[in-house]
Chains A and B, each alone.
Chain A
Amino acid sequence: MASKNLIEIKDVSFSYGKRLILSGINMTIAQGQVVALMGISGSGKTTLLRLIGGVMRPTSGEVWVNGVCTNDLDQAGLYQLRRQMGMLFQFGALFTDLSVFDNVAFQLREHTQLPEAMIRDLVMMKLHAVGLRGAHQLMPAALSGGMARRVALARAIALDPMLMLYDEPFTGLDPISLGAIAQLVRQFNDTLGTTSLLVTHDVAEALDVVDDVYYLADGKMLAHGSPQAMRAHTNPVVRQFVYGEIDGPVAAQYPVGDFATALKLRKQCAA
């Protein structure tokens, strides 16, 4: 039996004023899957993630999460939905005035009436799962980038969410931390029965742990398929991205006029 779609994005477009960011996006994520949303910087990945989280509303189209259309939800409805979501921000976004323990306990204290002894046990279990039980007394300023990301991951899964959103979880990490985070993403998804959406441009790590990949380019969904399919994709834009080639249809340089003309060299040569 096919599993239910946890996320359905139907013909979604989004623009900031007159600037079109996303256009005609369609996407489905089945329950239990780990899906990567890839694309170069500025392609609209984070915007799409924010639309799913209800942080922004689409200009047109519909975003459905767990059978609920987020377009028309008020703040109370959104908060109700977000209690079932976890989000890992690019640099962790830990609360700098709270210790590691209090960061992980934050949602438990805000949304549940659990006794402090039980909160302590739950927090220690989550920290143990990310390998940082021994760091529970530290303040965020004392953590390395990789540790901060793992604490943020423990905080995001504190309430065992049905959906995990990862915004560039691998950015700026050393190879060991990066591998550890990638494995944790897969492990939590499988053991907690979560569904995960990763916004990333770290191809190698992401393709190793995900079930499905969507590729965004210039606000449009350019490709979709399994990691193997993406590796063998024939579209030159996708190939250039997957294999990190410098030469290809996507130019590294920002569009600009001829440099020689800008330096007035052409006129002098002609003279």
Chain B
Amino acid sequence: MLHRLSSSVSALGAQVIDMVLRLGYATRFMLLTLRQSTTCLMRPSLIVRELYYTGTLSMVIILVSGLFVGMVLALQGYQTLVTYGSESVLGVLVALSLVRELGPVIAALLFASRAGSAMTAEIGLMKATEQLAAMEMMAVDPIARVVAPRFWAGLLSMPLLAALFSAMGIFGGYIVGVVLIGVDEGSFWSQMQSAVDVREDILNGVIKSVVFGIAITWIALFEGYDAPPTAEGVSGATTRTVVTSSLAVLGLDFILTSFMFRGV
């Protein structure tokens, strides 16, 4: 009995040590990426190419999801607001929900599943097929040439995608609320304009999406670079990217929200 308890505690301890080591390794990887970023910052074409893969190719899923989320928000919001005769603030409800919360968070979750998983799989496969080793042998640092451009592209794409998501969501809310249900168009836009604050709401949303972009891209790149060079290893790393970055986004969202909107 005592022996089983001791082995369970030791297994748990080993897992904790492994986790701390991995976190340290990931932090070192991040610092190395930042240090090696000069190459891609001097050659913006490397970042532009990755912006296409991470940002442009994620646009369809972001725009379509944003439209539907905005439409659902307007439907649900109207059902509640009409009870209190406050349907004129439907625009405010849709806009604030999207700009403060749903835009950055849902866009980040979608970004993690589309672009994050693709980054992990690509880098993991490059490692498995010795492309990263070949680059090293050609005296080209893979962190500077492969990892850093993807990191900056992810960091730049995320706020833009979140903004597009929110804009599309507001448009979806307008279609359902104003065009289909018949809420007054003037009050929909004017209430929204007066209630949404650039600094309190939009800037905080942008800050959130930048933080999410850093977290997702960091996790995705590290998982790909650290993936065992086998089919199973790459698939496991891709799954870990989606799971870890989704949890990180939700956890970070709570922390950021508690700091940003304390007084509201």
Q: How far is the CA of A78 from the CA of B138 in the complex (A)?
A: 10
Flag the segment in B127-135, B150-158, B197-205 that touches A: B127-135
B140 within 8 A of A: yes
Residues of chain B with a CB closer than 8 A to A89's CB: 130, 133-134
Question: A55: which of B129, B136, B141 is its contact (CB, 8 Å)?
Answer: B136
Within 8 A of B (CB), among A193-250: none
Q: How far is the CB of A105 from chain B (nearest CB, A)?
A: 12
CB contact list, B101-146 vs A, under 8 A: 125-126, 129-131, 133-141, 145
A41 located at the interface, meaning its Cβ lies under 8 Å from any Cβ of chain B in the complex: no
Contact partner of B133 (CB less than 8 A), chosen from A55, A85, A106, is A55
Chain B CB within 8 A of A265 CB: no
A59-67, A91-99, A116-124: which lies at the B interface? A91-99
Tell which of A90, A94, A96, A107 touches B138, judged by Cβ atoms closer than 8 Å: A107
By the criterion CB–CB under 8 Å, are B134 and A80 in contact?
no
CA gap between A110 and B75 in the complex, in Å: 55
Name B134's contact: one of A75, A78, A83, A93 (CB within 8 Å): A93
Chain B residue with minimal CB distance to A85?
B137
Size of the chain A interface, CB-CB below 8 angstroms: 22
Q: Which residues of B contact A53 (CB under 8 A)?
A: 137
User: Contacts of B133 on A, CB cut-off 8 Å?
Assistant: 55, 89, 93
Residues in B whose Cβ lies below 8 Å from that of A90: 130
Chain A 69-96: CB-based contact to B (< 8 A → 1; otherwise 0): 0000001001110110101011101111
* Cβ contact within 8 Å between B129 and A111: no
* Bound Cα distance A85, B140 (Å): 12
A111 touches B130 (CB 8 A): no
Contact flags (1/0) for B142-183 with A, using CB distance below 8 Å? Answer: 000100000000000000000000000000000000000000
The distance in angstroms between the C-alpha atoms of A53 and B131, with both chains bound, is: 16
CB of B130 within 8 A of CB of A82, answer: no
User: Within the assembled complex, what's the spacing in Å between the Cα atoms of A55 and B136?
Assistant: 8
Contacts of B138 in A (CB 8 A): 82, 87, 106-107, 110
A87–B134 touching, CB < 8 Å: yes
B contact residues around A87 at 8 Å (CB):
134, 137-138
Are B129 and A82 neighbours in the complex by a CB distance under 8 Å?
no
CB proximity of B253 to chain A, nearest CB, Å: 33
CA distance A80 to B141 in the complex (A): 12
Least Cβ distance of B222 to chain A in Å?
20
Q: Inside 8 A of A93's CB, which chain B residues have their CB? A: 129-131, 133-134
B129: nearest chain-A partner, CB-CB: A93
Give the residue among B133, B137, B140, B141 with the most A Cβ atoms within 10 A.
B137
User: Which residues on the B side are within 8 Å of A83 (C-beta)?
Assistant: 139
How many angstroms from the CA of A111 to the CA of B131 in the assembled complex?
18
Asked if B131 and A95 sit within 8 Å, CB to CB, the answer is yes
Residues of A2-47 contacting chain B, CB below 8 A: none
Task: List the B side residues contacting A91 at CB < 8 Å.
Answer: 129-130
Docked pose: A53 CA to B129 CA in angstroms:
18
Residues A82 and B131 in contact, CB atoms below 8 Å apart: no
CB distance from B50 to the nearest CB of A (A): 11
Task: Bits for A161-176, please: 1 = Cβ < 8 Å to B, else 0.
Answer: 0000100000000000
Query: What's the Cα separation between A157 and B124 when bound, in Å?
Result: 27
Write the nearest CB–CB distance from A171 to chain B, whole angstroms. 13
Q: In the complex, what residues of B have CB within 8 A of residue A95's CB?
A: 126, 131, 134-135
How far apart are the CA atoms of A91 and B129 in the complex, in Å? Answer: 8
Kindly list chain A residues whose C-beta atoms are within 8 Å of the C-beta of B141: 75, 79
Q: Compute how far the CA of A96 lies from the CA of B136 in the bound complex, rounded to whole angstroms.
A: 16
- Give the top 10 A-B pairs by smallest Cβ distance, nearest first: A93-B134, A79-B139, A93-B130, A82-B139, A87-B137, A83-B139, A89-B130, A110-B140, A107-B138, A93-B131
15 contacts between A and B (CB under 8 A): A55-B136, A55-B137, A75-B141, A78-B139, A82-B137, A87-B134, A87-B138, A89-B130, A95-B131, A96-B125, A96-B129, A106-B140, A107-B138, A110-B139, A165-B137
With A80-B139, A96-B129, A110-B138 known, 12 other A-B pairs at CB within 8 A are A75-B141, A78-B139, A82-B136, A87-B137, A90-B130, A91-B129, A93-B129, A95-B134, A95-B135, A106-B140, A107-B138, A165-B137
